[in-house]
Amino acid sequence: MPAQETAKVKTEVPLLFSKRLTVLNRIGLHLRTAARLVKTASAFDAEIHIASGRRRASAKSILGLLALEVGNGKEVTVTAEGHDAHEAICKIKCFFAKGLGEEESQVKDVTT
């Protein structure tokens, strides 16, 4: 009778990163900037969400992002979970820092 081998189970701890940002874009997050954010977030495998107040949406959903109604001066929390979550957060922070792709550096990092 052949010996049975026990399979080694590799358990990964999910990586979760979060960053709070204040948007200082004159128009805020609107259709064009939401589309750019979706394109940026979709480049990653991580689950990425943007929260504003009590609302939360996938950063990969244009309609979800628009429903957040993120205007100038609003604080948002970006969370990402997955193997490339840290890279995703950094890229999205950079996107916000570039005025959501429309203006010069206009984002204030509220995390100390």
Asked if residue 8 belongs to a domain, the reply is no
**Residue 30 among the catalytic residues:** yes
Q: Report how many domains make up the chain.
A: 1
Q: Answer whether residue 95 shows pLDDT above 50.
A: yes
**Residue 27, in any domain of the structure:** yes
| Residue 10 clears pLDDT 50, i.e. is over it | yes
Given 30, 49, 83, 86, which residue is catalytic?
A: 30
Q: How far is CA 48 from CA 3, 9, 60, 80, 104, in A?
A: 45, 27, 7, 4, 24
Q: Which CATH number does the domain housing residue 79 bear?
A: 3.30.1340.10
* pLDDT tens-digit map of 37-63: 999 999 999 999 999 999 999 999 999
At 11, the pLDDT band (50, 70, 90 cuts) reads low
> Which residue(s) pair with 76 in the sheet?
21
